[in-house]
């Protein structure tokens, strides 16, 4: 009984700590007053309306979706191909190549972004959404590679061999055998990359100029201090991400 | 005859594997290794009034070790990061434990999913949300004064930075520690109890060593991300005692001194490497 009580209390405290910022963020996005702090002066949707009517934010939202989709697709293709190469055991220097491809995981985003910024500066290449996309594909390729590799195994290698023996070309083997067999992993890798790119700030901040992504636009919104509009953006982003995660969960669960 | 056929098949397979790995390999080489090398070289250059001067000088590194502002930022970062890692492990371990061991099996997945819900808010906004709580007239101080308690000065301080970070990494560590707890064979605990170990001895000699890899992996990830993060100290810590990433961003922005930013980044990476070397031996289960 005492044990039950102690555990319950700890769960309550920790979940309180974990949820508190999100609850405060969402509640005060409905603030009728001018500041997202107590006292709560009544319910209003005007800040949500202000967000949806803000052209800069909507353009940034579109940019973010674009960068996330394109960079995640690039990461997925690169990661998938490399995972296939490593999984069937005939790649020379396999360990070293694996190490190299996964290396970006252990380096700070700030350092990756700064390295790319310095290189682009020296080469005289201007910043754009493309450079942001390159940065995001650098951080997401190892992720896609690792997820694809962990889903590949003996079963799929045997099936590939069988297909090849039956005369299938390399493209058909990949498209008709490998990809369908690890489809849940492909979807998971793609969606995870999407959320990482979608939420990434520092690389996007360093490598963009005039066209910016949503986190960078939100960053400039923060300069206005405490503002219920920032709460409203945060709540809407939360809603959207939660929706994607839930969809991914349902897809992978149904596949099992 | 058959042998040459086998060899040529092997060669074909190898060629195919090389062709498949090449895009990711070249991509990482071109957009990760090369930029890193360029940054390393840049850290020995100088920024003068005329622009960048290519050279091989340790001047930037000397500046780092010679000026208190730089050393203090590095020290701030290390102190903040160690505190965050410590508090996050301390808070996350019991939570992961309760979810893995005390909750009925059918609630575990839900409990775990709930523990990481705030992950899905935007990273930038999450730090901002803490300022709503910690501001001078924010939620926490309103509660305190409602209860007749003195108001605290929490915003723009190291406490705020550590709180915001700890919130994020507690969620992350619950995942890694939970993963190592469920991998633990349940009969080992029973065996320890049968052999006369009390709950504390069982934890100290059986459970803790077995879950050490989960703690070590989580602690290293926490350290590596935390020490390189610009957003949280910038939003929550204010402009007074700067962390290393804030100083790096100052070089990039206001001072346009990329060589110094490169030097500070290299130093940052050295700290991460040291943390890796310190935790790496705990990442594997002892005795295996």
pLDDT in tens, B129-163: 999 999 888 999 999 999 988 888 888 899 999 99
B144 touches chain A (CB under 8 A): no
Q: Alpha helices, DSSP H only, in A105-227?
A: 109-123, 129-151, 154-165, 170-172, 179-181, 183-199, 202-207, 214-222
Residues in A 60-119 with any Cβ partner in B closer than 8 A: 77-79, 81-82, 84-86, 88, 90-92, 97, 100-101, 103-104, 106-112, 114-119
Any domain includes B224 = yes
Number of domains chain B contains: 2
B270 touches chain A (CB under 8 A): no
Alpha-carbon gap: B7 to the closest alpha carbon of chain A (Å) = 12
What is the pLDDT averaged over residues B57-85? 95
pLDDT of res. A39: 85
A202 touches chain B (CB under 8 A): yes
Q: How confident is the model at residue B1 (pLDDT cuts 50, 70, 90)?
A: very low
For the ranges A55-69, A231-245, B61-75, the lowest mean pLDDT is seen at A231-245
Tell me: pLDDT of B4 over 80. Answer: no
Same domain for B38 and B88, yes or no, is no
Mutate to test the interface with A, among B12, B122, B219, B227 (most CBs of A within 10 A): B122
Any domain includes B287 = no
Name the residue of chain B whose CA is nearest to A118's CA.
B39
Chain-centroid distance, C-alpha B240: 23
Mutate to test the interface with A, among B8, B18, B130, B132 (most CBs of A within 10 A): B132
Q: How confident is the model at residue A15 (pLDDT cuts 50, 70, 90)?
A: very high
Same domain for B163 and B262, yes or no, is yes
Tell me: pLDDT of A154 over 90. Answer: no
Any domain includes B232 = yes
Residues in A 222-241 with any Cβ partner in B closer than 8 A: 222, 226, 230-231, 233-234, 237-238, 241
Alpha-carbon gap: A173 to the closest alpha carbon of chain B (Å) = 13
Task: State whether B268 and A107 contact (CB < 8 Å).
Answer: no
Same domain for B141 and B31, yes or no, is no
Q: Which fold has domain A55-255?
A: MetI-like fold (1.10.3720)
**Neighbour count for residue B18 (Cβ, 10 Å):** 16
Domain that holds residue B32: 2-42
A252 touches chain B (CB under 8 A): no
Same domain for B166 and B251, yes or no, is yes
pLDDT of res. A212: 96
Any domain includes B136 = yes
Tell me: pLDDT of B77 over 80. Answer: yes
Name the residue of chain B whose CA is nearest to A222's CA.
B128
List, for residues B211-223, the tens digit of each pLDDT value: 998 899 999 999 9
Q: How far is A177 from A161, CA to CA, in rounded Å?
A: 10
Same domain for B208 and B80, yes or no, is yes
CB A142 within 8 A of CB A104: yes
Residues of A in contact with B123 (CB under 8 A): 199-201, 215
**How many residues belong to chain A?**
256
Tell me: pLDDT of A168 over 80. Answer: yes
What is the pLDDT averaged over residues B236-253? 91
pLDDT of res. B150: 87
Q: How far is A237 from B122, CA to CA, in rounded Å?
A: 7
pLDDT of res. A228: 93
Q: How confident is the model at residue B287 (pLDDT cuts 50, 70, 90)?
A: very low
Domain spans, chain A: 55-255
pLDDT of res. B178: 93
For the ranges A131-140, B41-50, B267-276, the lowest mean pLDDT is seen at B41-50
pLDDT of res. B288: 44
Same domain for B122 and B264, yes or no, is yes
- CATH number assigned to the domain comprising residue B81: 1.10.3720.10
Mutate to test the interface with B, among A88, A111, A157 (most CBs of B within 10 A): A111
In the three-class reduction of DSSP (H, G, I as helix; E, B as strand; rest coil), residue A31 is classed as strand
Same domain for B36 and B109, yes or no, is no
CB A200 within 8 A of CB A136: yes
Q: Which residue has the tokens 């002892």?
A: B286
DSSP β-bridge partners for residue B47 = B52
Strands B46-48 and B51-53: antiparallel
Same domain for B31 and B133, yes or no, is no
Tell me: pLDDT of B286 over 60. Answer: no
Q: How confident is the model at residue A254 (pLDDT cuts 50, 70, 90)?
A: low
pLDDT of res. B65: 95
What is the pLDDT averaged over residues A112-134? 95
Task: State whether B117 and A230 contact (CB < 8 Å).
Answer: no
Comparing CA positions, the residue from A182, A58, A223, A199 lying closest to residue A139 is: A199
B31 touches chain A (CB under 8 A): yes
Alpha-carbon gap: B219 to the closest alpha carbon of chain A (Å) = 13
Same domain for B106 and B17, yes or no, is no
Chain-centroid distance, C-alpha A185: 15
Any domain includes B285 = no
Alpha-carbon gap: A111 to the closest alpha carbon of chain B (Å) = 6
Is the bond leading into B192 cis (omega within 30 degrees of zero)? no
pLDDT of res. B186: 80
B172 touches chain A (CB under 8 A): no
Question: Predicted ipTM?
Answer: 0.90
């Amino acid at each position: 009984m005492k044990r039950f009580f102690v555990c319950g209390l700890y769960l309550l405290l920790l979940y309180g700590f974990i949820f508190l910022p999100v609850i405060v963020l969402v509640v005060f996005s409905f603030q009728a007053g001018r500041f997202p702090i107590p006292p709560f002066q009544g319910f209003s949707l005007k800040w949500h309306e202000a967000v949806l009517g803000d052209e800069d934010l909507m353009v940034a939202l579109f940019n973010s979706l674009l960068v996330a989709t394109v960079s995640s697709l690039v990461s997925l293709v690169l990661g998938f191909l490399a995972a296939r190469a490593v999984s069937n055991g005939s790649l020379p220097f396999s360990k070293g190549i694996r190490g190299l491809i996964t290396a970006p995981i252990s380096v700070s985003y700030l350092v990756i972004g700064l390295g790319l910024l310095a290189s682009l500066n020296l080469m005289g290449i201007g910043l754009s959404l493309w450079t942001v996309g390159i940065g995001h594909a650098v951080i997401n390729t190892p992720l896609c590679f690792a997820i694809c590799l962990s889903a590949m195994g003996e079963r799929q290698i045997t099936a590939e061999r069988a297909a090849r023996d039956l005369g299938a070309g390399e493209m058909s083997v990949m498209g008709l055998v490998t990809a369908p067999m690890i489809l849940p992993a492909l979807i998971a890798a793609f969606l995870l990359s999407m959320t990482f790119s979608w939420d990434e700030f520092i690389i996007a901040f360093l490598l963009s100029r005039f066209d910016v992504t949503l986190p960078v636009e939100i960053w400039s919104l923060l300069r206005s201090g405490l503002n219920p509009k920032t709460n409203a953006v945060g709540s809407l982003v939360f809603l959207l991400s939660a929706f994607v995660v839930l969809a991914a969960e349902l897809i992978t669960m149904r596949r099992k | 005859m058959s042998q040459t056929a086998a060899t040529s098949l092997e060669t074909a397979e190898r060629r195919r594997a090389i062709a498949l790995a090449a895009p990711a390999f070249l991509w990482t080489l071109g957009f990760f290794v090369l930029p890193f090398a360029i940054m390393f070289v840049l850290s020995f250059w100088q920024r003068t009034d005329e622009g960048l001067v290519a050279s091989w000088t340790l001047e930037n590194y000397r500046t780092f070790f010679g000026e208190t502002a730089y050393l203090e930022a590095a020290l701030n970062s290390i102190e903040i990061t160690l505190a965050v890692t410590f508090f996050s492990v301390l808070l996350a371990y019991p939570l992961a434990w309760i979810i893995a061991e005390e909750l009925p099996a059918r609630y575990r997945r839900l409990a775990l999913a709930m523990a990481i819900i705030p992950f899905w808010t935007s990273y930038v906004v999450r730090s901002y949300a803490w300022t709503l709580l910690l501001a001078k007239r924010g939620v926490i101080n309103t509660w305190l004064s409602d209860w007749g308690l003195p108001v605290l000065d929490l915003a723009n301080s190291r406490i705020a930075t550590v709180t915001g970070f700890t919130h994020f990494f507690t969620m992350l560590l619950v995942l890694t520690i939970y993963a190592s707890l469920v991998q633990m064979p349940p009969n080992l605990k029973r065996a320890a109890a049968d052999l006369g170990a009390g709950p504390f001895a069982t934890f100290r000699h059986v459970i803790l060593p077995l879950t050490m890899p989960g703690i070590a992996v989580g602690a290293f990830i926490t350290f590596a991300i935390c020490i390189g993060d610009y957003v949280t100290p910038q939003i929550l810590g204010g402009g007074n005692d700067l962390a290393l990433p804030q100083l790096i961003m100052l070089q990039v922005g206001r001072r346009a001194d990329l060589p110094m930013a490169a030097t500070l980044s290299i130093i940052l990476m050295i700290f991460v490497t040291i943390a890796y070397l310190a935790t790496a031996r705990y990442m594997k289960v002892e005795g295996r």
